[in-house]
Structure 1
Amino acid sequence: MRIRELRQELGMTQEELGRKINQTKSNVSKYETGTLEPNIQTLNLLSDIFDVSIDYLVGKSNIKKQDACIGAEMHELMNNLGNLSEESKKELEKYVQLLNMKDQLDKSKEEQSSVLEKEA
């Protein structure tokens, strides 16, 4: 879970976050350490407060928030993939490669940050 990181980015205390999600400071601490998992309602609240997707919040994705428009455009693009020109297909392939490289870089940064936190 990325709750601690996101909470600290907003300069919020555990107590402040607890008030916003109707939980105790103790529960927020447990969420941050992984000794307690928030229910879906709490995850939805946290997602709204931090303006990130639940997948990002729980560490399943490195994409903070997927724009609904992008999702709809991707869906339409996938449906029409066969109609793309060869040039467009090559451009799309380059874009996907760049996204993969960005995800790998983000993951590497997170791993380095995690190692530094453990050493501190």
Structure 2
Amino acid sequence: MLSKRLKTLRTKSNKTQSDFAKIIGVARTTYAMYEQGQREPDFATLQKIADYYEVSVDYLLGREEKKNPSWGDQAEFEALMNNPQEDQFYKEFKESPEERRKALLAAWEYLKSLDNK
């Protein structure tokens, strides 16, 4: 199950094995073995993969079918992603450096606080 989900997630994100191996800090051959089911990632690597794709480790391992239970309604999430501007924002946000993501989240928190005033 893990190997199939890894390949599906990677291809949907338009990444090559080399691209994704660099993202999670392993050799391309090592990552290829994960997708072929010949080797399994250690827990830290599994967490990196889950974090990158924003899915649970249980989803990767086939223990649950929802990619991320905290997303709530999958149809609502998919509708959000069908908006080209929001989809682009999400993709760029996900691939932005951590400092930029933190700054944007801080700005969002500030904007939300204005509603409470």
Q: TM-score range by the shorter chain?
A: 0.5 to 0.7
Asked if residue 32 in structure 1 is aligned to residue 47 in structure 2, the reply is no
Asked if residue 62 in structure 1 is aligned to residue 56 in structure 2, the reply is no
Amino acid at match of 2:36: T
Alignment of 1:1-120 (within 5 A): 1=2, 2-67=5-70
- TM-score w.r.t. the length of structure 2 is 0.56
Match for residue 78 of structure 1? Answer: none
Q: Which runs of 5+ in 2 are unaligned?
A: 73-117
Q: Which runs of 5+ in 1 are unaligned?
A: 71-120
Instruction: After TM superposition, give the deviation of residue 46 of structure 1 in Å.
Output: 0.1
Amino acid at match of 1:36: R
Q: Which 4+ runs in 1 deviate beyond 2 A?
A: none
Instruction: After TM superposition, give the deviation of residue 61 of structure 1 in Å.
Output: 1.1
**How many residues are matched?**
69
Q: Deviations over 1:7-47 (max 9, x none)?
A: 00100000010001110111111001111000000000000
C-alpha distance in 2 between matches for 1:58 and 1:10 = 19
Amino acid at match of 1:12: K
SS of the aligned residue for 2:66 comes to: coil
Bigger radius of gyration, 1 or 2?
Answer: 1
Amino acid at match of 2:40: E
Instruction: After TM superposition, give the deviation of residue 59 of structure 1 in Å.
Output: 1.4
Q: CA RMSD in A?
A: 1.4
SS of the aligned residue for 1:63 comes to: coil
